[in-house]
Amino acid sequence: MLDGAVRQRLEPILDRTGRRLAKLGVTANAVTVVSCFVGLGAAALIANGWLMVGLLVMVLSRIGDGLDGAVARASRGTDFGGFLDIVLDFVFYGAIPFAFILHDPGANAIAGAALIFAFYINGASFLAYAVVAEKRRLSTRARGVKSIYFTTGLAEATETLAVFILACLWPAGFPIVAWVFAAVCLYTAVSRIMLARATFAAG
């Protein structure tokens, strides 16, 4: 829901940085992979109780996740790059709840598992919609130039990052945060299914 507004504010800065990196020979795929490993580092820090440091590293990871697209726009984006970006995004989204489960299994395991389950359903609805949209040659720039069709929703990258930050700032409240956001993700998935029914039913 908030990705569009955030993108409008950050994209000029990211694009300038992306052009500089591209001139230095840095590839978008390299930025994608490094950002993922930084995100996994954040998850490791959270799992071991270093929540504030993990928060900062996590934010750096997500800045890198936005920067890889800027590098791609400044050089030559590829289908593999778009594929890699999506796959490693889901690695990150699963790693952070799992880190909170490892941090305090007794308090966080059920809520964390529910959140990962909701991510799984929401991600499946997102990717399935993109596949059928590509088959029908549909296009959108609601979230900028992307390698696949992006449908908007209540739970997007910005909201997910905000939830992860809140969990780091309020670790005792992780179960509440996880259950609420799991419900938001499931609502987003159901909304996307209804949109798919309206868009694809004729074919």
What is the CA angle 22-61-11, rounded to 5? Answer: 55
Domain spans, the chain: 3-200
139-197 tens-digit pLDDT: 665 544 444 445 666 668 889 999 999 999 999 999 999 999 999 999 999 999 998 88
76-112 tens-digit pLDDT: 778 899 899 999 999 999 999 999 999 999 999 999 9
Of 123, 114, 64, the closest CA to residue 93 belongs to 123
Domain 3-200 class, CATH top level: mainly alpha
The pLDDT value given to residue 145: 47
